[in-house]
Amino acid sequence: MSRSEAPLIEDAVTTGDLVDRLLSGLPTEAVLVDPDVTASYANDMASFCEAGVPAVVVLPRTVEQVQHVMRVATDLRVPVVPQGARTGLSGGANASEGCIALSLTRMDRILEINPVDRIAVVEPGVVNATLSRAVNEHGLFYPPDPSSWEMCTIGGNIGTASGGLCCVKYGVTAEYVLGLDVVLADGRLMSTGRRTAKGVAGYDLTRLFVGSEGSLGVVVRAILALKPQPPRQLVLAAEFASAAAACDAVCRIMAGGHVPSLLELMDRTTVKAVNDLGHMGLPETTEALLLAAFDTPDPAADLAAVGALCEAAGATQVVPADDAAESELLLQARRMSLTALEAVKGTTMIDDVCVPRSKLGELIEGVERVAEKYDLTIGVCAHAGDGNTHPTVCFDATDPDESRRARESFDEIMALGLELGGTITGEHGVGILKKEWLARELGPVGTEMQRAVKAAFDPLGILNPGKLF
Amino acid sequence: MSRSEAPLIEDAVTTGDLVDRLLSGLPTEAVLVDPDVTASYANDMASFCEAGVPAVVVLPRTVEQVQHVMRVATDLRVPVVPQGARTGLSGGANASEGCIALSLTRMDRILEINPVDRIAVVEPGVVNATLSRAVNEHGLFYPPDPSSWEMCTIGGNIGTASGGLCCVKYGVTAEYVLGLDVVLADGRLMSTGRRTAKGVAGYDLTRLFVGSEGSLGVVVRAILALKPQPPRQLVLAAEFASAAAACDAVCRIMAGGHVPSLLELMDRTTVKAVNDLGHMGLPETTEALLLAAFDTPDPAADLAAVGALCEAAGATQVVPADDAAESELLLQARRMSLTALEAVKGTTMIDDVCVPRSKLGELIEGVERVAEKYDLTIGVCAHAGDGNTHPTVCFDATDPDESRRARESFDEIMALGLELGGTITGEHGVGILKKEWLARELGPVGTEMQRAVKAAFDPLGILNPGKLF
């Protein structure tokens, strides 16, 4: 492996050389070099993450073109940053200076939808909502629904193992990826997994790639599992006089064997922000609002049972939605939370700490203490049923001191999550934002073995360098 | 890495040296050297798989003892074969000559059951049925239920990512493993994953270990996800005049959006074998028997809908069980299938080909042609809802020609499975039995990358050598 002793990036490579080599296997319109254009591919949606400017942006349409890009990158030792819609929240798609930004957005075909086998075969650039709607027409359901589902791509979802509101019943993206075609760092094409419901032939490299943030290879095709479309869900809203009481309700619901299709918590700060932005008319006096939904054959009965548990936990008001329209309105309020919190001070840092759900109350209490200590507004919305919280630090990015406090409070919340037996990221990924924290979560042996896996797939370190580790 | 250039097994190591080293960190009763005893740890339950005799069998009770064993094995370059209950069907737990057979059966404690977090924490030697019953007492459900569930261990289930009857609704073992403690080849302890419902911090090494057949490390603790206990399932039996009609019914049921908790097919040969062995009174005249079950709030309604689909596909008789007792009787018949087929000729080779369920009919037809070509009895029972079939070749192991034909027919069925877009193993694993076929399924790039992963975790090749690759 003398190759791995070569320098990461050949100093002698000029952008001109790189572009010429790329153009030998890509059409002109797929290779962008205008600095204003390349600069626009520098970032995803995370705060506080450094980003360089790509030397070139490539927009392949075929697997062969992606293979060509990776062969050129390997030959010239140029880093490659795979990108989807760049809606990520951890800097995982941020460009490195002088890299090839490899945007998969033009590979956006749905290749197959099969209702008997309950699978879809897609290219990575398909937008989540596009796929969701397409499979709905066949009576099928693709559950993962990150907040950005109207924009984000399946390739990006696979890169970060994205979650969403429905995970508490249906799990995250990882649960729906059966097989992948991946272009490796050196341009070879590898197929993993299968199109069958089950299969245990060899190591599960499919799952290794899911959540690997473009650092092991470039996903160019995915075989996805689908579910039958469930009945429309009905939502209940419950108000509580304290976040602790709402968390107690969550524990009672889950220990009681209920399987909600959604179980979300919004704290007072979040409710107020949503009302301010969207005039949604949510109850302003609440300390915590819990939304529970069921997509079962008799959702009203399930909501009644869960409503009773909320009351037993001290809910001050329990309001089941009467119909789908009312339910949708409540969900819109929840989906608007992060945007609304961003409006509070102009900028947010969105944490993604996931704790065992029995520790949810302790985490939220702890976040309150952190907000007080740093004199900041931190709104908490949470996929409460999963213990996955998004404490959202609101700050004025033009104020250096407030920015520093924001960053420190953000870190302190991750430390608290780890203390409570949780993880630094439930669904947003590590990227740049949390890479110093990843080693803390994994420990030295885990980190070393993760690096060994990285080295096995990308010995030159050209795939999304500077992320994760 | 000068270590990797050392010979795999030091010729100079005598069994005496090895035992002395092992006894320096293990109690006497945990180190077995009596040749009659060590020989009894040579095999799992697969036919046609070579096995050596272990030099020594170790039965550790603690993580530290497992670490000691692996340190000794690394120092002396002695291969280690991790073993559970040795109920596997692919030779994955067969001993190599002169190895350390590392039996985890004495590490059999259930460390925690938590109904709010819906998790259990267990040692690897816990028997599947023991865990199932223990969590039932908390209103919880551990779904994976391989046929050997009364004997097989969770560690073994993790090693092969075991399935069972309920996978069509609940998935396989892999879906229930949240985190692992693993002793690596050199004795270091690594924790993977989490005890939270979600988490995407770093590569998913948990899933990499699930199904790795003891070739990457030794699982010493597992955090398992649990489900709420569903209502008892109700079973329907449908008779068909052809296997093709039964497979058509399977497709209609799955395309119709139904979610049975079990959807099993038994062909005529299997039904007859079960009646012969167990006097079960199954319909002798049937060409194919389909069993469907629902554990929903109103299973009778679901069975009625599915019964109508069976009739539309040409079922000659549809009999819903009236109650749990009748349902359990039908399931017992299904669970007895493999044992009953073994009784036909004394020995069986159990294939495990999984195809997209839309191809199930073609596979079963193909198996009939193979049985005719080789003049053999091959009974098919199948987890039909998953497309996972167990064509079971019945033969007289004392007849060399019949044994040869059995092996050839077994291989031809795997080839057919791959042709139909399936996999050589849905749930039994690769082990020794199918290792020549694994490379065929994975292709050269996939095989090379799988080997690279193996090398990253086990550079000396001491963990379960000769399996998988």
For tokens 């529970």, what's the residue?
A: A292
Closest residue on chain A to B437 (Cα): A201
- List for chain A the helix, strand, coil content (%; round to 5): 40, 20, 40
Mean pLDDT, residues A124-139: 98
State which H helix or E strand residue B133 sits in: helix B128-136
Q: Which residues are paired to A219 by β-bridges?
A: A182
CB contact under 8 A, B446 and A202: yes
pLDDT score recorded for residue A12:
65
Whether the predicted pLDDT of B3 surpasses 60: no
Is any Cβ of chain A less than 8 angstroms from the Cβ of B444?
Answer: no
pLDDT of residue B283: 87
Q: pLDDT tens-digit profile of A132-149?
A: 999 999 999 999 999 899
Q: Which of A284-293, A320-329, B67-76 has the lowest mean pLDDT?
A: A320-329
For residues B203 and A450, is the Cβ–Cβ distance under 8 A? Answer: yes
For residue A207, list chain B residues with Cβ-Cβ distance below 8 A: 174, 204, 207-208
CA distance A320 to A330: 10
CA angle B317, B321, B327 (to 5 degrees): 125
What pLDDT does A11 receive? 58
pLDDT at A7 > cutoff 80: no
Please state the φ and ψ torsions of residue B313, each to the nearest 5 degrees: -85, 0
Residue B4 clears pLDDT 80, i.e. is over it = no
pLDDT at B5: 38
Contact B426 A200 (CB under 8 A): yes
Give the mean pLDDT of chain A. 95
Is the CB of A229 inside 8 Å of chain B's CB atoms? yes
Q: How confident is the model at residue A47 (pLDDT cuts 50, 70, 90)?
A: confident
Tell which A residues from 168 to 187 touch B, by Cβ distance under 8 Å.
Answer: 168, 172, 174-175, 184
Tens of pLDDT, residue by residue over A190-219, are 999 999 999 999 999 999 999 999 999 999
Parallel/antiparallel/unpaired status of strands A177-183 and A189-193: antiparallel
Beta bridge partners of B178: none
Contacts of A79 (CB under 8 A, 6+ apart): A8, A9, A73, A96, A98, A99, A100, A461, A462, A463, A464, A465
Share above pLDDT 90 across residues of chain A, in percent, rounded to a whole number: 91
Confidence of residue B12 (pLDDT cuts 50, 70, 90): low
**pLDDT score at A433:** 94
pLDDT at A153: 98
Q: Is the pLDDT of residue B279 over 90?
A: no
Reading the block at residue B253, the tokens are 């049921």
**Cross-chain residue pair B383–A298, CB shorter than 8 Å:** no
pLDDT class of B322 with cuts at 50, 70, 90: confident
A-chain residues within 8 Å CB-CB of B144?
none
pLDDT attached to residue B261: 97
Query: Count of CB contacts below 8 A, A vs B?
Result: 256
Q: How far is A64 from chain B (nearest CA, A)?
A: 16
**Mean pLDDT for all residues in chain B:** 95
Say what the pLDDT of residue B101 is. 98
Question: DSSP assignment, residue B463?
Answer: B
Structure tokens at B7: 């010979």
B457:A445 CB<8 A: no
Least confident stretch, B321-325, B342-346, B368-372, B443-447: B321-325
CB contact under 8 A, A205 and B428: no
Task: Tell me what pLDDT residue A3 has.
Answer: 37
**Interface test mutation site (partner B, options A119, A136, A200, A428, max chain B beta carbons within 10 A):** A200
- CA–CA min distance A94, chain B (Å): 17
pLDDT band of residue B7 (cuts 50, 70, 90) is: very low
| Residue type (1 letter), A444 | P
CA–CA min distance B51, chain A (Å): 21
Report the pLDDT value the prediction gives residue B280, as an integer from 0 to 100: 84
Q: Is the pLDDT of residue A170 over 90?
A: yes
Least Cα separation, residue A438 to chain B (angstroms): 6
- Does B449 touch chain A if contact means CB atoms closer than 8 Å? yes
Q: What's the confidence (pLDDT) of residue A278?
A: 85
Give pLDDT, residue B11.
58
Query: Which of A438-447, B210-219, B331-340 comes out lowest in average pLDDT?
Result: B331-340
> What residues of A are in contact with residue B121 (Cβ under 8 Å)?
none
Partner B contacted by A207 (CB < 8 A):
yes
Q: Is the pLDDT of residue B393 over 80?
A: yes
Question: Do the interacting molecules here have an ipTM over 0.90?
Answer: yes
Give the pLDDT confidence score for residue B282 in this predicted structure: 87
Once rounded to an integer, what is the mean pLDDT over residues A105-126? 98
pLDDT at B8: 44
Average of pLDDT values for A233-259?
Answer: 97
Least confident of A9-18, A116-125, B12-21, B53-62: A9-18
Confidence of residue A2 (pLDDT cuts 50, 70, 90): very low
Of A7-16, A292-301, B279-288, B437-446, minimum mean pLDDT range: A7-16
Residues of chain A positioned with their CB less than 8 A from the CB of B207: 174, 204, 207-208
Residues 6 or more apart in contact with residue A133 via CB below 8 angstroms: none
With a cut of 50, say whether residue A130 has pLDDT above it: yes
Residues 101-120 of A with CB under 8 A from B: 114-119
Residues of A in contact with B228 (CB under 8 A): 257-259
pLDDT of residue B135 exceeding 60, the answer is yes
Which of B205, B387, B446 lies closest to A196 in CB terms? Answer: B387
Nearest CA of chain B to the CA of A296: how many Å? 10
Q: What is the pTM of this model?
A: 0.96
Q: Residue B18: what pLDDT?
A: 97
Q: What is the DSSP letter of A354?
A: B
Per-residue 3-state assignment (H helix, E strand, C coil) for A64-87: HHHHHHHHHHHHHCCCEEEECCCC
In the block, tokens 């799988």 appear at B450
Chain B residues with CB-CB distance to A196 below 8 A: 354-356, 386-388, 421-423, 426
- Contact B388/A at CB under 8 A: yes
Residue B6 reports pLDDT greater than 70: no
Tell me the H-state helices in A125-258.
Answer: 128-136, 154-160, 167-170, 205-209, 243-255
Rounded to a whole number, what is the largest CA-CA distance in chain B? Answer: 70
Q: Is any Cβ of chain A less than 8 angstroms from the Cβ of B377?
A: no
Q: Could you tell me which chain A residue has the CA closest to the CA of B298?
A: A297
Confirm if A173 and A112 have CB atoms less than 8 A apart: no
DSSP E strands, A21-109: 31-32, 56-58, 80-83, 100-103
**How is B41-97 classified by DSSP, letter by letter?**
TS--S-SS------SEEE---SHHHHHHHHHHHHHHT--EEEESS---SSSTTPPPT
CB contacts of B183 in chain A (<8 Å) are none
Give me the mean pLDDT over the A374-383 stretch: 97
List CB contacts (< 8 A) between B262 and chain A: none
Q: Which residue has the higher pLDDT, B325 or B8?
A: B325
pLDDT tens for residues B170-182?
A: 999 999 999 999 9
